[in-house]
Amino acid sequence: MLHSIKTANYRNLDSGILQFSERANFISGRNGQGKTNLLEAIYWLLSLRSKRGRIQDCIRKGESAFHIDANLTFGDLKHRVSLGIEGKSKKLLVDDVPPKRKRDYLENVLVVDFFPEDMLILVMEPGLRRRFIDIACVQHFLPHEDVLRRFKRILIQRNHLLKIPGGPDQGVLESYDRPFAESAAQILATRLHLLRKFGKLTDEIFRDGIGEKYEASLHYYASLDGVPEISSAEDRIEAEKFEEMFLDALTRNRGKDIESGRSSIGPHRDDWGMTLDGKPVRQFASRGEVRSAMFALHLSRFHVLAEKRGIKPVVLIDDVMSELDIKRRMRVLELLPPGQIFLTACDPPPELDKIGSGEMRHFVMEAGVARQVD
Ligand SMILES: Nc1ncnc2c1ncn2[C@@H]1O[C@H](COP(=O)(O)OP(=O)(O)OP(=O)(O)O)[C@@H](O)[C@H]1O
Ligand SMILES: [Mg+2]
């Protein structure tokens, strides 16, 4: 739970210390005033990563670093957390001491975010979907970050070999097979495991919760042959089985990979998607339905992560009400998960009093300064 925050040189933000409600915090304000920036700063604090691509874009124009100081409760105690980002260096202090490992801190904090650009996840290029599911896998099981890093390194090295003019040394190329297959299999198995959990809950929330009429299901499109459908995958999908399948595929595709100069099989080439009554969301759904579907997916992420990690994620919802009709807005507000929530919108909705059932603080953001109004 985030009690207070103070940012320095984070984009246009210029407030002093902001004190938050333990339940719901609503931030309104005209376009371009800094509502999203505040949620992004909170995302940084609770994930140690950027919601936007480039760190440079997060720092106020003309400055070289930003700082976020906050009071948080985790592990039943209040802590002072301070994050400083300068160039590529991240400095984190918890109660004035750098934690031994960043993971020691990340084990205690958890954030589920829903930003407008997340709508694009379901409809734009596969890279966005892979990033979404891989971040969720890391949130689910923090050491998974090491697997992703290892796979990325192996992939870069293997692709580099494949591009050597005149062809790579076969022995050297083959020496990459086992480590490639091992980490690729782990990534695939973890993605399937999580998407399976998300899929079941997403449909429940989408239909029973929001009242949509279509059946929502998630699908995984693997570059590797023989990968089962998410819904029919065994409860415990064996990463070892995938490892052998990857080894086979690497041997079979070696000639093709050398010819094209890239690795044709692996989690970096996979995709997943959502269908409504069997039709792909990206071709079929209206904008409101995509928003509603994405909300259901994020909410299922909240519940799955909360159960696995044993802590309630802080929820950031940026501008989700726009494009939803009144019926959907009401349903979404009723479905807001327990715990601490930050919500933004240009104008407070008529249903504002429904948020946080009496435990809500309302801030108005103007030119980077948030002022509490009630
Ligand atoms: N690096 C930066 N330094 C200073 N100001 C920046 C920087 N990057 C963006 N801004 C400013 O931040 C403002 C955008 O803030 P933000 O996206 O949080 O607005 P918002 O209140 O969410 O608006 P909307 O309702 O349109 O979503 C813009 O005015 C932009 O000029
Ligand atoms: Mg915004």
Place of tokens 């090295």: 157
CB distance 28 to ligand 1 below 6 Å? no
pLDDT of residue 374: 72
Q: Which two tokens stand for residue 70?
A: 């906050």
Q: Was domain 1-110+312-374 assigned CATH 1.20.1050.10?
A: no
- The span from the CA of 371 to the CA of 318, in Å, is 18
pLDDT of residue 233: 60
pTM above 0.85, yes or no: yes
pLDDT of residue 237: 59
pLDDT of residue 242: 94
3-state secondary structure of 97: strand
- Strand 360-366, strand 271-276: pairing: unpaired
Q: Do domains 1-110+312-374 and 123-310 have the same CATH topology?
A: no
Residue 113 C-alpha to ligand 2 middle, in angstroms? 13
pLDDT of residue 46: 97
| Angle ∠(14,27,129) on CA atoms, nearest 5 | 95
Do 95 and 128 touch, CB atoms closer than 8 A?
no
> How many C-beta neighbours within 10 Å does residue 54 have?
8
The closest of 53, 15, 18, 12 to 36, measured between CA atoms, is 12
Residue 290 C-alpha to ligand 2 middle, in angstroms? 19
The closest of 111, 5, 94, 7 to 59, measured between CA atoms, is 7
Q: What is the DSSP string of 208-226?
A: IIT--SSPEEEEEE-SSTT
Encoded amino acid at 102, one letter: K
- The span from the CA of 282 to the CA of 133, in Å, is 17
Q: Was domain 123-310 assigned CATH 1.20.1050.90?
A: yes
Alpha-carbon 201 to chain mean position: 17
CB distance 64 to ligand 1 below 6 Å? no
Residue 3 C-alpha to ligand 2 middle, in angstroms? 22
Residue 32 C-alpha to ligand 1 middle, in angstroms? 5
Closest ligand 1 atom to the C-alpha of 37?
18
CB distance 33 to ligand 1 below 6 Å? yes
Do 10 and 85 touch, CB atoms closer than 8 A?
no
The residue ranges of every structural domain in the chain are 1-110+312-374, 123-310
Q: What is the DSSP string of 149-202?
A: HHHHHHHHHHHHHHTSTT---HHHHHTTHHHHHHHHHHHHHHHHHHHHHHHHHH
> How many C-beta neighbours within 10 Å does residue 142 have?
16
Q: Which two tokens stand for residue 310?
A: 């044993």
Ligand with minimal distance to 345 CA: 1
Give nearest CA residue, ligand 1 atom 13.
Answer: 32
pLDDT of residue 13: 97
> How many C-beta neighbours within 10 Å does residue 63 have?
12
Name the residue of 31, 37, 343, 369 to mutate for ligand 1: max ligand atoms within 8 A of Cβ.
37
pLDDT of residue 109: 96
pLDDT of residue 234: 60
CB distance 31 to ligand 1 below 6 Å? yes
Contacts of 20 (CB under 8 A, 6+ apart): 2, 3, 4, 5, 340, 342, 361
pLDDT of residue 313: 95
CB distance 291 to ligand 1 below 6 Å? no
| Low-confidence residues of the chain: pLDDT under 50 | none
Q: Residue 368: left if φ>0, alpha if ψ -120 to 50, beta else—which one?
A: left
Encoded amino acid at 34, one letter: G
Give the HSE-up count for residue 125: Cα atoms under 13 Å, Cβ half-sphere. Answer: 3
Give nearest CA residue, ligand 1 atom 9.
Answer: 11
Q: List, for residues 30-77, the tens digit of each pLDDT value.
A: 999 999 999 999 999 999 999 877 888 999 999 999 999 999 999 889
Q: List, for residues 87-140, the tens digit of each pLDDT value.
A: 888 999 999 999 999 999 999 999 999 998 888 899 999 999 999 999 999 999
